[in-house]
Chains A and B, each alone.
Chain A
């Protein structure tokens, strides 16, 4: 498929308007965030056109009941927070259970230091965290991404796409800035090395 380069594919404002409405309809039928790539393919326009269309659409939504949220690498059509009580009443939802403080802290540590082992999490928190990690795994906020090449080959944890969606984050770089030590430096700095020194194991005991 050839993608026209121009912002307006056929030099036609009417067409642009139709594309905007098409993008809107796609966001409506999708059950989750729609990526730029998906919209590029469905609409047959360039990525910058997609961005322009969505920006305009977002402007249209000012003062309306819905909005577009950029979350987990895609665009998500959702309601506005100030209308929550009406939507909740309609859906017969009482309230959503927030995460416990301990779970939130643990999740923050995983988010900034991933991939991370249980022991490393506990070293920061100073308390045992196995139960909390279990709960976070159950809620699909974190997942197991392999094993660290260290004594006991402990499991490494990282956050999931569901985590981004839960907090309405575009990606991991969208996380709130961590004071002091640069968290971004830690990100990816601890990726497991598949060819760790063989002495590591034989030295033990």
Chain B
């Protein structure tokens, strides 16, 4: 579902704004991209659709790039393709685009005819040689002996699997318990006990990521480089 923009200069899907900007129908210098970004971020407080967020991020980034190109003064290089950009050419370009699309549509119907023809002819599927020899010079006894050897080797090499000392699920529980005791939340570093081993730190971090992903915990950073605070998510 496309994200809808609502600013005085434009109202409609964000991808449409991007397309219009790319085609030169909208002057990005008049579009407050920061406001679009803020509005979107405000919306994500309640609900985040990761796919949509990626899309919006990508489109906004593309527009920021285009806008910054518009804002930065152009170096005085003898302009080559500039005449193309004259507004009088806009109609011609649109016509050209349409022509291009029509040409592809025509070609598509030619391809359709080819597809139809190909769908009515058949060939041998690859790699179905009925005489293919998989086991040459191998008897059933050989197979049985080989299998016994494998079994014996397996008996010799019984390994020991050490118990997992730190479990993500346990750490998740621990974090939830800790946060339940601190309704105001705790500083990120407090989640990691001072004497924690490397494994504990890693597993705790994984547990935290899991909890954030499951929306049971939220992490906030008031400003860049400020300590991150972790708290229980509002139910």
A residues at B contact (CB < 8 Å) = 28-32, 67, 69, 76-82, 84, 87, 91, 95-96, 98-99, 101, 104-105, 107-109, 111-112, 123-126, 128, 151-152, 165-169, 175-176, 178-181, 203-205
In the complex, A178 Cα to B69 Cα: how many Å?
35
User: In the complex, which of the residues B111, B124, B127 contacts A167, with contact meaning CB atoms closer than 8 Å?
Assistant: B111
Is B128 close to A, CB under 8 A? yes
Residues of A within 8 A of B62 (CB): 151-152
Q: Does B170 contact A (CB under 8 A)?
A: no
Q: Tell whether, in the assembled complex, residue B107 and residue A112 are in contact, meaning their CB atoms are under 8 Å apart.
A: yes
A31 partner residues in chain B, CB cutoff 8 A: 124-128
Provide the residues of chain A in CB contact with B58, threshold 8 Å.
152
Kindly state whether residue B35 has any CB partner on chain A within 8 Å.
no
Shortest distance between the CB of B76 and any CB in chain A (Å): 16
Of the residues B61, B123, B125, contact of A79 by C-beta under 8 Å: B123
Given A31-B124, A152-B61, A178-B103, 17 other A-B contacts at CB below 8 A? Answer: A78-B123, A84-B122, A91-B122, A95-B119, A98-B119, A104-B112, A105-B104, A107-B108, A108-B108, A109-B104, A126-B19, A166-B118, A167-B111, A203-B68, A203-B69, A205-B61, A205-B65
Closest to A69 in B: B121
A77 touches B114 (CB 8 A): no
Identify B104's interface contact among A78, A81, A165, A178, CB under 8 A.
Answer: A178
> In the bound complex, do residue A81 and residue B120 qualify as a contact, i.e. CB atoms below 8 Å apart?
yes
Q: Does B22 belong to the interface (CB within 8 Å)?
A: yes
In the assembled complex, the Cα of A47 lies from the Cα of B138 at a distance in Å of 42
The answer for the CA separation of A128 and B108 in the assembled complex, in Å, is: 18
Q: How many A-B residue pairs have CB under 8 A?
A: 111
Is A181 within 8 A of B114, CB to CB? no
5 tightest A-B contacts by CB? A31-B126, A81-B120, A84-B120, A176-B110, A78-B123
Q: Looking across the interface, which residue of chain B has its beta carbon closest to that of A81?
A: B120
- Nearest Cβ on chain B to A200's Cβ, whole angstroms: 10
For A32, the chain B residues whose CB sits under 8 A away are 123, 126
B116-156, CB under 8 A of A: which get 1 and which 0? Answer: 11111111111111000000000000000000000000000
Give Cα A109–Cα B127 distance, bound, in whole angstroms.
32
Per the bound structure, the CA–CA distance linking A152 and B58 in Å amounts to 9
A81 and B128 contact, CB distance less than 8 A: no
Give the residue among B62, B102, B114, B126 with the most A Cβ atoms within 10 A.
B114
B122–A123 CB distance below 8 A: no
B114 and A81 form a contact (CB under 8 A): no
Q: Which of B101, B121, B128 makes the CB contact (< 8 A) with A80?
A: B121
B61 touches A124 (CB 8 A): no
- Tell which of A30, A108, A124 touches B111, judged by Cβ atoms closer than 8 Å: A108
Q: Is B106 an interface residue (CB 8 A)?
A: yes
User: B64 near A180 (CB under 8 angstroms)?
Assistant: no
Known A-B contacts A124-B104, A166-B118; A205 and B111 likewise in contact (beta carbons under 8 Å): no
Is there an interface contact between A167 and B100, defined as CB atoms closer than 8 Å?
Answer: no
Mask of B209-235 contacts with A, CB within 8 angstroms, 1/0: 000000000000000000000000000
> Is B99 positioned at the interface, with any CB of A under 8 Å from its CB?
yes
CA distance A152 to B60 in the complex (A): 13
